[in-house]
Amino acid sequence: MRSEEIARGGGKKRKKPQWADKTGWEGFVDIPLTDDDRARIADDLSNLTPGEALAFIDRWAAEGYKVGLSADPAHDCYIVSLTGKSPDCVNRGYTLVARGPDAFGAVVAMNYKHDGLCRGEEWAQGANENQRQIKMFD
């Protein structure tokens, strides 16, 4: 089982592009998955319905996230992205992505990252940033 420290997010911020300053976008947060995480996602795929996945999307939008879904033919997968947009969103300005073999799989993987690992809270835990995260800014 993963340690409590990792289970509370474990995200790493990536460097943002120069154009981001004009938009308020702060950058991506990486949350790498272990083999155990992938096994749990596979279990979720067999136990969740597409209707439940749509409910995740609806809830994320209500929480202030911009939800993106796109095919990535170069990598033979689908990508779901959540970007904190509303002023009261705990992840305002940050984007988290998840991939899956199809749209349903990508949504289930995002649910595992956002709701399972991070419990719907901050993706990049500030108190632990120097210990396990790459600082985005100098």
Domain spans of the chain, in order of start: 4-12+25-121
**Do 102 and 78 meet the contact criterion of CB atoms below 8 Å apart?**
yes
DSSP 27: E
CB 104 within 8 A of CB 50: yes
Helix (H, G, I), strand (E, B) or coil at 131: helix
pLDDT in the model for residue 120: 87
| pLDDT, tens only, 103-131 | 999 999 999 999 999 988 888 765 433 33
φ, ψ at 102 (rounded to 5°)? -150, 180
Q: Residues 96-105: contacts with CB within 8 Å, 24+ apart?
A: 96/11, 96/28, 96/29, 96/31, 96/123, 97/28, 99/72, 99/75, 101/76, 101/77, 102/78, 103/69, 103/78, 104/45, 104/50, 104/53, 105/41, 105/45, 105/78
* pLDDT digit string, tens, across residues 20-57: 555 578 888 888 889 999 999 999 999 999 999 999 99
Q: What is the pLDDT of residues 75-103, one digit of tens each?
A: 999 999 999 999 999 999 999 999 999 99
User: Which pLDDT belongs to residue 32?
Assistant: 87
Question: pTM for the full model?
Answer: 0.76
